[in-house]
Amino acid sequence: MLQGLKTRWSALSGNTRGVLLVIAAMACWSVLDACNKQLMRQGLLPKQVLFLQSSVVLAMLAPLLVWTRGRLVATRQPLFHLVRGVIIVISAFCAAWAVAHLPLAEASAYLMTGSLFMLPLGVWLLNERAHWSRWLGMAIGFSGVLVILRPGAEAFQPAALVALLGALMEAMLGVVLKKYSQGEHPIAVLTWSQLACWLSFGLMTGFVLPPVAQVFWPLLPLIALSASGIYLAYFYAYRAGDASAVEAGGFSLLLFSPAIGRLFFDETPALVFWGGAALLVCGIAVVIAEPRTRNVAPAAS
């Protein structure tokens, strides 16, 4: 059975595999946002939550790094990790700030505009050739975002602008990962990214872990696993397909977040939200259905 699933997975196009992996990353992201929002509702600041998050991820990775004697994190591209670390610190702080100040579904809507930034960035910086159906899928997805956000005077609030900056940084992360991660082990990418967050947010908090009520201790392993799942799923998604195509799966966060927001925070999106979400699903479907480019084999001489 496992072999059959592997064969079916391999038979999918690279972009389709990438989109599905990004959808898995979004499921992890929605869980992580919910855990972080729960902690921030108890009085923790975003910088404290992010220091705690990076601490538990590194604690989870420590036995693996010791067992492999650090071989997994060895790198020949320190500049790649430095640049990515700076971008990820900005992105993580913007995302946490948005989640702290906006309903979960609305914060996700702003943050997922990173998928829209990725298409022109992929064409411009990664020399990707976008099939017309990819542009169409992104246009449909963007229309869904507009339906949800209902642009106007209320859209231009500080938390929304911070979230949009975070979305841009997420798109830049994708470009850097796609362009410079060749030869890097996924655990190395995860570890150095979390170390950058640990140092940055540790300096902001004096390297003091925030107090967490005992009732919320079960959230800590969930935070570690979901944060790691985001990074690893994205890593393999960008290896599988074009960055500008696989990012369409990011719109799926707007399906996971409302459900979690309603279940744990009693946040009920307006009816218009679901109309926009339907357009987002259609946009993802169009991108996934992008026809493969057929490579014509040269005639034998």
Q: Where are the domains of the chain?
A: 14-209+219-288
Q: What's the confidence (pLDDT) of residue 296? A: 40
Average confidence (pLDDT) over 121-142: 76
Q: What is the pTM of this model?
A: 0.80
Average pLDDT, the chain: 82
Q: What's the confidence (pLDDT) of residue 226? A: 95
Residue 56 neighbours by CB distance under 10 Å: 21
Q: What's the confidence (pLDDT) of residue 151? A: 61
**Interior angle at CA 256, CA 45 and CA 47, nearest 5:** 15
* C-alpha dihedral (109, 114, 119, 121), degrees to nearest 10: 160
| Helix, strand, or coil (residue 253) | helix
* Single-letter amino acid code for the residue at 203: L
Q: Is the pLDDT of residue 71 over 60?
A: yes
Q: Which two tokens stand for residue 246?
A: 């696989």
Alpha-carbon distances of 298 from 120, 294, 295, 301, rounded to whole Å: 32, 12, 9, 9
From the number of C-beta atoms within 10 Å of its C-beta (0-12, 13-18, 19+), residue 148 rates as buried
Residue 222 neighbours by CB distance under 10 Å: 15
Specify the DSSP element, H or E, that contains 262: helix 253-265
Average confidence (pLDDT) over 181-186: 79
Q: Is the pLDDT of residue 172 over 90?
A: no
Q: Which two tokens stand for residue 6?
A: 């592997």
The answer to whether 21 and 236 have CB atoms below 8 angstroms apart is yes
Q: What's the confidence (pLDDT) of residue 145? A: 72
Q: Is the pLDDT of residue 141 over 90?
A: no
User: How is residue 297 annotated by DSSP?
Assistant: P
Q: What is d(CA 207, CA 193) in angstroms, rounded to the nearest whole number? A: 17
Name the nearest CA neighbour of 147 among 23, 271, 287: 271
Alpha-carbon distances of 239 from 2, 165, 196, rounded to whole Å: 22, 25, 23
Residue 291's pLDDT band, with cuts at 50, 70 and 90, is low
